[in-house]
Each structure stands twice: as structure tokens, then as C-alpha cells.
Structure 1
Amino acid sequence: MVRRDISSKYILKRRGDLEMKKMNKKGFTLVELLAVIAILAILILLVTPNILKMFNEGKESIFVQQAQRVMDASNNKYMSVSLKSPGAYVFTNKVQDDESKTSYPKTTNLNLTSNAIDYCVEMNNEGNITFIHVSDATYSIKIANDKGVKLDDISKPNESDANKYKELKTNGTDADYAAVGLTIEGSGDTAKSKCNR
């Protein structure tokens, strides 16, 4: 019987050694953990600029779509108001001066409630948009053309026409593009508003 106790102790001891070896195999060494962290850091550094670039391009595309929406709304509003009273119009969401609280004469709001942008659109007697300025907290588009601004004129610039296209600006780089504004020409009954150019 003594023999049996020795063999059972030996078996228990051997089983304990095996369990210790298994436990040692389950963990990672500090070097392995640091290597994984270094690889992840390198991947993040490689991917982050691409994600930021895509995010900024998306914001720019949304702004261009909003500017096109302002242009469409201006054309639609002109059709409805020019039937009653033909003539040139200025469409803007700045219908009064922020400082003096006086209303600008002969301006019409497009009532674009979902857009967090400022805009000023001039239309001539023929219904052509001769000037458009749309601005938000980040971007600004300013286009003038006496023959008429077309919807295709408002688009994202390509690298090939980067020198030709100067309307899409980031606010803060050029003070002229920072805010939409209006001026009043004439006085009394002949007073009319014009977008600041």
C-alpha cells in the first residue's frame, strides 16, 4: 500500500507540473505585446491621413450641393415672384443689417431652413443669376458672370483646373470670402440692395 501512495503522489506532482507548463504557455511576453502595439501604431499613422482627406472631401461636396440648392431655389423663387412683379431681384438670408437692424430694400429670403449657410444671389431682369455668394463656417463660393452663372459653374475644383477655379475658398485664408454682405444703392423709393462683391 505504501507503494500506491508514492505513485499517486508522483502522479499528482507530475499533473501539477503539466498544469504549470500550460499556464506559462497561455500568456504573451512583454516584447510580443510591444511589437503588436508598434504595428498597430504604424497602421494608424498610414490610414489616418486618408480618412481625414475623405472626411474633408465629403464636407466640401456637401457644401457644393448646398450652394447648388441655393441656386435652384433662387431660380424657382424668381419664377414665382417675377410673374407678379418683373424685374431684378436679390435673394438673401441677410434681409436686415446685423448692427443697425434696418431692413435691406428689395431683398427676398429663400427660406432655406435646413441650410446653415449665408447666401446672396443677384438676378437680372431676364432671370439670369449674375452673382452668387454662398458661405458657411468653413467654405465660401463667390461667382460673378454678367451673362449668367450656370449650375455647372458651382462644382468641386479638379487638380487640372485648380488655377482656373478660385471661387471655392476656405474661410480664414482670404478675408474677402469670410462673410456674405449687402450694400444699398440709391435712396428712398429708388434704393435697391446689391450683394457685396
Structure 2
Amino acid sequence: MKAKKMVACDIECIKQIVNFLEIKCGKLSIKESERIQVPVVTGLDGNSEAISGFGTIVISLAKQCKKSQFGKTQEDEALVRQWIEYAVCYGNYVDLTQTARQVLKELNAVLSTRSYFVGSSQTLADIVLYYVLHGVMVDLTYQEKEQYLHLSRWFNNIQQDPKLRQKNKLIHFSRTPLYT
């Protein structure tokens, strides 16, 4: 697994989410704050107030979407929000090899008993985690992908939607176990 210098929850990730959801977004920018970069959006819904922080921006934008991205129940919505926070707190730092391994291991364990992160269909949690993880998944070897079998299954399923994948590289997964 190669370590790259990046922050996964950035403006490009927000732009991909906006494109997938087919919604309008205000002006995106970065605010420098004590050695960290915080995404900011202004002009959302004609409002002049700025909204800052990846999770807050993504949730605010998804609320504009015609089709609900938060699942079917209030519990689903709470879980979607938790997964977005997880993406910000942990997924955002998958550029560090040790962090990436831990995040992939945790997500693989969660997906061992389900097809999606929340409920029985794709939600905003799946969309956000797809974009956050793409940079790491593209660099995994076939052997490393097999170590995260459930995560690889989920990722391969999610990326089959060309609308979601957009210009991201289609990642190939081996269909037969290469290593035992």
C-alpha cells in the first residue's frame, strides 16, 4: 500500500458528491485555520452565510436533493450522519499507511454482515465513503484487496454506477482468490 499526501475530505470530494446528487452548490473555498484547511461554501440556497466543515457542507447539500439520501427512518439518518463523521475523523487521514490499514480493517468488519453501510440500499454514507476511499483502493494490490474482502465487494458493487464513478478510475478486483 502506497502512502500519498492527501486529505480525502476536500473540495474535490464535495464537487463529486454535488455532481452525483445533481444539485447546485454555492461557491466552494478553503479557509486556513491553524495549519488545517477547512472547506467552506457560501451562497447556498441564496443564503449569504458561510457553511464550513466537510460533514456540515455535505449534509446541507444532500438535504437539497430530490431523492432522500438519508435512508428510510430517523435511525437511518442518524447512522448516515455518524458515517459522515467517521469519514471526516478517520477516512480523511487514509494517506497515512497505518491509518489506512486500520480504517480498511474496521470498514471490512462492518461490511461482513451487510451490503451497505446503512439500511438495505445506497445512502449518502456509501457515496461519501466511496469518494473518500477511492484514492486508497486504487493503490491496493490484488493481495491487499483480498485482505479486505467485504470492503472490496462493497466497493466493487458501488463503483459499477457510472454516474457515481464519474471520472474516477474503475478499480479491478480479482474474482478468484490469488492467495490462501
TM range (shorter): under 0.3
From the two aligned structures, give the one with the greater helix fraction.
2
Larger Rg: 1
TM-score (norm 1): 0.23
From the two aligned structures, give the one with the greater strand fraction.
1
Q: Which has the higher contact order (CA 8 A, sep 6+)?
A: 2
